[in-house]
Amino acid sequence: MMTPLLIDALTISEGRFEKPCPVLVLKMMLLNEEMSREFSEKIKNQALLLLAIYRKLLLAVDRDLCKVKTLKDSVKRRHWAKVDKAQDKMVVAGQLRLKSLDPEEMILFLNTQHFLKKLPISFVQELVNWASPVVSGNFLIENVLAGYIAQKLLPLERIKVKELGKSVQPYFHLANFSVFLPRLEELYQKYQQQIVRVAPMAEVALALTDLKKARVYRIRSSS
């Protein structure tokens, strides 16, 4: 179930984003809300790329964690958005953390690693700017997937995050976000060719879609 807490953990809480921004567009797409005219084509296209990378990442995570129980959503706990405002801060991406699985559930994320290796570093750097993680200490609280990608692919780089003023424990592990897959798949099928066209390079389009190289190049050459 896509609870409000889980949606904010995947994207960002109301009032925390700088409007207009790709993360807000993605959130509106997930909730099937009408798109505002204030969003430029560039921002909408960036949101489509976020959609595509989150879908592929969660498909890989789902395969890696197919035998792991999904952790319960903390829907009865106080929403961290009401705790405090967030301030910009620079952190080393490799120090970011998210909620851990129980020790007996830890396995090698082979499918996830295979997908992440396909992503050009320059594209990942841009993506993290579109979806700056919100943290409490070193724990990822919002834009969790963007923070996870940065942790894995930009471990030595300093990235901009938004830090909460009060301590908040992480509610969700990667396994929790698999509930978004049906909605992400629906949106992906609708925008697949547009994702191919707006990808900054063919390498990114191949990594973020299920299409063969010839089809990707044909779509990009016809745009």
Confidence of residue 39 (pLDDT cuts 50, 70, 90): confident
| Least confident interval from 6-10, 125-129, 166-170, 181-185 | 166-170
Q: Whole-angstrom Cα distance, residue 92 to residue 68?
A: 30
Q: Where are the alpha helices (DSSP H) in the chain?
A: 4-10, 22-30, 41-64, 110-116, 121-130, 144-153, 181-198, 202-208, 213-222
What H or E segment, with its residue span, contains residue 105?
Answer: none
Task: Supply the pTM of this predicted model.
Answer: 0.90
Which residue matches tokens 């925008």?
Answer: 191
34 three-state secondary structure:
coil
How many C-beta atoms lie closer than 10 Å to residue 98's C-beta?
20
**What band does 102 get if pLDDT is binned at 50, 70 and 90?**
low
Position 37 scores a pLDDT of: 77
Region 73-93: what's the mean pLDDT? 67
- Give yes or no for residue 174 having a pLDDT over 90: no
- The burial of 107, by beta-carbon neighbours within 10 Å (0-12 exposed, 13-18 middle, 19 or more buried), is given as exposed
Residue 81 scores a pLDDT above 60: no
Instruction: Using a pLDDT cut of 70, give the percent of the chain over it.
Output: 87
pLDDT tens for each residue of 131-162: 999 999 999 999 999 999 999 999 999 999 99
Rounded to an integer, the average pLDDT of 54-83 is: 68
Please report the pLDDT score of residue 74 as a whole number. Answer: 42
Average pLDDT over residues 101-129: 82
Helix axes 41-64, 121-130, angle to 10 degrees: 110
For residues 54 and 69, give the distance between their C-alpha atoms in angstroms, rounded to a whole number: 20
